[in-house]
Amino acid sequence: MSDAAATLDLVSPFHLRCDAQWTVTGVGRSLAKHLGVGVVGRSFDELLEVRRPARADARALERKAGQILLLRVRSTGLDLRGEWVTLPSGERAVLCSPWVTSEEQWRSSGIELTDLGPQDAAGDYLVLLTAARQQSIDLERLVEEVGAKERRLAAIVDNMREGLLLLDEEGVIESANRSATRLLGAPESELVGLAANSLLEAVPAAGEDAEALEWEVRPVHGPGFRGRGTSYEIRTMKGPRRVVLFRDATEEERLLQMQREFLAIVSHELRTPLASIQAPLGLVASGAMGDVSEEAREMLEIASRNGQRLRQLVDDVIDLERLQKGSLPMERVEFPLAELLERSRDALQPIAESEAVELTLESTPEGSAHGDQSRILQVVVNLGANAIKHTPQGGCVSVSLLADDRGLVVEVEDDGPGIPEELRERVFERFFQVSGSDRRQGGTGLGLAISRLIVDQHDGSIEALEGADGSGSLFRARFPSPMEVKG
Ligand code: ADP
C-alpha cells in the first residue's frame, strides 16, 4: 500500500480508490471488510449506487468533485456518505463514512466501533451512538472492575488471621469475618446484632498507644482469652462505623515466654565456661604463667575484652529475664544517699578517666532514699557509663542524686550527640541501639531496658530528654518514696 493510501486508510477506513476510468484500485480496510474479496478491478458503478445527486452514475460525477454524495453498497445495502477528490497521483478517492440513522440499521450493518476512523466521528447519529456505546462499555468495565475488587477484598478479609468486626454507631456488630466467627465461637448470623462490648471487654491500656488495644474476650461459645489488636473509625455511605481487629494473644505470649526462657537457659549455660575461659586468659596475659611476647599479650587482651563483653551480655540477658519474671526480689529499705553517691563514684570514675571525660557527682546533702540500693546503683551506673561512652574526650558528664520526701530523682547529663527525639522512647527497648552512635563501644543494647524494668519495679519512671542547654542527653529516673506510691 502506498503512503498516500495508508494515510487515507487511517483517516477514512471506508474510502474507495479508482483510476481515471472509475475502475477500483483499492479500498480502505473497513470497506474491504464490509465488501469481502474481489473488489479491485471492478467498476465503481458495479459496486456502488449513486443515490444523490439523483440519477448520477460514476461518469456523471466527473464535475462534482468536492460535493457531498450519498452512495449505497449494492451488495449489502449499507449507505455511505462522502465526496470524491483527486489525489496527486491522478487517482480518485471517494472518502466515505457509513450513513447510519438508527440503532437497528447500525446493528444490521455489522460494523464494529473499531472499524470507524476519525472522519466517521462526523456522522451525526453515529457520533451519539458511538459515544453511548463507549459509555456503556466503560460502565460495564467499571462495574466489572469494582466487582472484582470487592471480591478480592472480601477474600482478603475472610482469610485474615485477625478477627474483624464492623460496628455501627452504637457499637452493635454489623458484620464479622471468618476469623472473628472462629474466635468468638459463633456464626456471623449469631454475632450480628450483638453489642461488641458484651464479647470484648476493653482492658485499660498500659501505655498511651491507642493503636495497640487489649480486651478480655468472652466468646459466645468456648473459653475466654486475652485479645490484642486495634480499633479505628471509618466513614461509610451509611455514616461513621468502627472497625475492630483482634487476635488471640495467648499463643503469642506463650511463644514469647518460650523465647525468653530459652535465652535465659542458654545464657546460664554459657556463664560457667565463659568464666573458665576468661580467668586463664587474664593469668597468661599478666605473665604469671611465664613470659609472653608483646604481640601475644595484645592478642590475649583482645580475647579477654571480647570475653568480658560476652560475659556482660550473658549477665544482662539473665538479669532481664529475672526482672521480667519478677523473680528478682527487690529490697525495700531506706539508705543514705551519700552511700549511693560513693558507690556510683567508685564504679564510674575509672571509666571516666580511661575515656578522658570529666565526671561530676553530687547528691542532696544528708539525703536518703528508699528502695533496693544495689539495683538503683545499677541504674545510675548504666546511665553514667552510657553518658561517658557517648561524650567526646574532654567533655563533661554530671550525675546528680536529688532526694526529698517525694522520693529520689537521678539525673545524668552529658556533652554527647544526644538522641533524636523520635528515638528517645525506643532506646528503652531490648537490643535497640541508635545506629551511627559512633562512640558505641560494643554495648549490648540491654542496659536501658534493664534500667526501665528496675525503675518499674520501684513504681517509678525513666525518660530520655534533651540536655538542659539544648545539646547532649539528659536521662531522668524517678524512684518515688513508698508514701508517694500509696498516695
Ligand atoms: P548499650 O549497651 O548499647 O549502651 P543501652 O540500652 O544502654 O545499650 O542503650 C541503648 C542505646 O541508646 C545505645 O546503644 C545508644 O545508641 C543510645 N544511648 C544511650 N545512652 C545514650 C547517651 N547518653 N547519649 C547518646 N545515646 C545514648
8 lines ligand 1 (CB under 6 A): no
Q: Which three cell numbers stand for residue 282?
A: 587474664
> For the chain, what percent of residues have pLDDT higher than 70?
93
Please report which confidence band the pLDDT of residue 487 belongs to, taking 50, 70 and 90 as the band edges.
low
Residue 457: CB atoms within 10 A of its CB come to 16
Task: Compute the distance from residue 378 Cα to the ligand 1 centre, in Å.
Answer: 15
Average pLDDT over residues 64-71: 83
CA atoms of 73 and 126, how far apart (whole Å): 18
Encode pLDDT of 34-48 as tens digits.
998 889 999 999 999
Encode pLDDT of 377-417 as tens digits.
999 999 999 999 999 999 999 999 999 889 999 999 999 99
Residue nearest to atom 13 of ligand 1 (CA): 433
Task: Compute the distance from residue 452 Cα to the ligand 1 centre, in Å.
Answer: 13
Amino acid (one-letter) located at 254: R
What was the pLDDT predicted at 154?
A: 85
Q: Which three cell numbers stand for residue 147?
A: 466487582
CA atoms of 345 and 362, how far apart (whole Å): 10
117 lines ligand 1 (CB under 6 A): no
Please report which confidence band the pLDDT of residue 252 belongs to, taking 50, 70 and 90 as the band edges.
confident
On average, the pLDDT of the chain sits at 86
Alpha helix segments (H runs only) across 334-372: 337-354
Supply the DSSP symbol for 111: -
Please report which confidence band the pLDDT of residue 345 belongs to, taking 50, 70 and 90 as the band edges.
very high
Amino acid (one-letter) located at 337: L
386 lines ligand 1 (CB under 6 A): yes
446 lines ligand 1 (CB under 6 A): yes
**What residues have CB less than 8 Å from 460, skipping those under 6 apart?**
407, 477, 478, 479, 480
β-strand pairing of 396-404 with 358-363:
parallel
Q: CB of 309 within 8 A of CB of 340?
A: no
451 lines ligand 1 (CB under 6 A): no
416 lines ligand 1 (CB under 6 A): yes
Q: C-alpha angle with apex 54: 51 to 59, nearest 5 degrees? A: 85
What was the pLDDT predicted at 208?
A: 45
Average pLDDT over residues 444-468: 93
Is 50 exceeded by the pLDDT of residue 151? yes
Is 70 exceeded by the pLDDT of residue 179? yes
Is 50 exceeded by the pLDDT of residue 461? yes
Dihedrals φ, ψ of 442, to 5°? 60, 40
Q: What structural domains does the chain harbor?
A: 3-131 (3.30.450.260), 163-248 (3.30.450.20), 253-325 (1.10.287.130), 333-485 (3.30.565.10)
Task: Compute the distance from residue 443 Cα to the ligand 1 centre, in Å.
Answer: 8
The residue whose CB lies within 8 Å of the most ligand 1 atoms, and thus the one to mutate among 312, 415, 427, is: 427
Average pLDDT over residues 112-134: 67
Atom of ligand 1 nearest to the CA of 416: 24
Q: C-alpha angle with apex 205: 202 to 210, nearest 5 degrees? A: 95
